[in-house]
Amino acid sequence: MHNLVKMKNNKHKILVLSDLTDQSTNVLKSASKIAQVIDGKIELFHVRKPTDVVEKESNLSAVRGLKDHYVLADKKLKALCETISEKTQVSIKHSFSFGNLKNEIEAHILKTKPDFIVLGKRVSKTPGFLGDRIFSFILKKFEGPVLLASNDAVLENESTLSLGLYNETTIQSNISSLNAIISNTEGPIRSFSIRDKPTETIEEQKLTSDGIVSYIFEKNGQTLKNMSNYMQKNKVNLLLVDRKSKNSSTKKDLSISALNDLALTIKVPLLFSH
């Protein structure tokens, strides 16, 4: 009995950052799929800047406006959590805060110490919760795995994971959650790499040591777009990106700019790891 209780309490903690837009449902669906695979529990966290809620009015009106918004946001978060949790049987709680986005997120990460963070891709250039360079901020502040969920390729409850690797040809990880994802992948793992001058525009070969199928793309202005098309064609629905690139041939860390280019161009969900 004690062993069972210990296992239950040792679930991976997944922090999902939500902006409460229409995309939030799909982000939480993808996070729930990951939670099923790695045996995780989810906290859905929303931050709102006070200036987005109240205008320059009297203090009493401002306080009333904040309270009204808090009640409304809490209701939306609760309904979203209950809907997804009922379907996936994943434990999901929610929390909400007013304040500076980056400050509140950083403080929450330090307080709750999540093992895994999930957020949605930025769908437009309109400023908002994910429009304040939150993705780049998370990569700088959090060393654990970060899933950038996609509205174009949602990880559903019944989805099977088909894993791709970016600029890697081997899988090496000492992170239990990543190993769980790798172990639950169906079909061959596919590696997508970029070279200045490959022997062909797209070269495919089977790596017999790991059974990984490798695609090598010529570097040009359409490389990432072509790569994304190949991923969708081969039904890859999760791309693992080692931001430190320890095993890549270049041995260079990926810059924030390069990671942002991936996030904007690749349609499938991106899982960033160290």
Q: Is pLDDT at 124 greater than 60 in this prediction?
A: no
Which of 2-11, 84-93, 207-216, 261-270 is predicted with the least confidence, judged by mean pLDDT? 2-11
Average pLDDT along the chain: 82
> Residue 126's pLDDT is what?
46
Do 103 and 171 lie in one domain? The reply is no
Amino acid at site 264: L
Q: What is the CATH number of the domain that holds 189?
A: 3.40.50
DSSP letters along 171-224, please?
A: -----HHHHHHHHTB-S--EEEEEESS-SSSEEEEEETTTTEEEEEEE-STTHH
Q: Within a domain: residue 158?
A: no
Residue-number span of the structural domain to which 112 is assigned: 11-149
Do 133 and 45 lie in one domain? The reply is yes
Choose one of 125, 149, 173: the last residue of a domain. Answer: 149
Do 169 and 143 lie in one domain? The reply is no
pLDDT digits (tens, 9 = 90+) for 59-78: 666 667 677 778 888 999 99
Using alpha carbons only, what angle is made at residue 255 by residues 253 and 258, rounded to the nearest 5 degrees? 120
> Residue 210's pLDDT is what?
67
Do 102 and 127 lie in one domain? The reply is yes
Amino acid at site 109: I
Q: Is pLDDT at 125 greater than 70 in this prediction?
A: no
> Residue 211's pLDDT is what?
76
Do 174 and 268 lie in one domain? The reply is yes
> Residue 28's pLDDT is what?
96
Report the run of H or E that residue 8 belongs to, with start and end. helix 2-9
Q: Within a domain: residue 156?
A: no
Q: Within a domain: residue 4?
A: no
> Residue 131's pLDDT is what?
47
> Residue 133's pLDDT is what?
74
Q: How many C-beta atoms lie closer than 10 Å to residue 64's C-beta?
A: 13
Q: Within a domain: residue 18?
A: yes
Do 27 and 99 lie in one domain? The reply is yes
Helices (H) and strands (E) counted in the chain, each on its own, are 8, 11
Do 140 and 170 lie in one domain? The reply is no
Choose one of 149, 177, 204: the last residue of a domain. Answer: 149
According to DSSP H, which parts of 39-58 are helical? none
Q: Is pLDDT at 240 greater than 80 in this prediction?
A: yes
Contacts for 96 with CB less than 8 Å, ≥ 6 apart: 45, 46, 47, 48, 70, 73, 74, 77
Q: The tokens of 3 are what?
A: 């062993």
Residue of 143 and 124 predicted with greater confidence: 143
Do 83 and 181 lie in one domain? The reply is no
Q: Is pLDDT at 208 greater than 50 in this prediction?
A: no
* Residues 164/158, Cβ–Cβ less than 8 Å: no
Do 131 and 189 lie in one domain? The reply is no
Do 143 and 16 lie in one domain? The reply is yes
pLDDT digits (tens, 9 = 90+) for 14-26: 999 998 888 899 9
Q: The tokens of 212 are what?
A: 């990984």
* Residues 16/28, Cβ–Cβ less than 8 Å: yes
Summarize the chain as % helix, strand, coil (round to 5): 40, 25, 40
Q: Within a domain: residue 176?
A: yes
Q: Is pLDDT at 7 greater than 70 in this prediction?
A: no
Total count of domains within the chain: 2
> Would you say how long the chain is, in residues?
274
212-218 and 202-207 as β-strands: parallel, antiparallel, unpaired?
antiparallel
**Placement of tokens 């080692």 in the chain:** 242
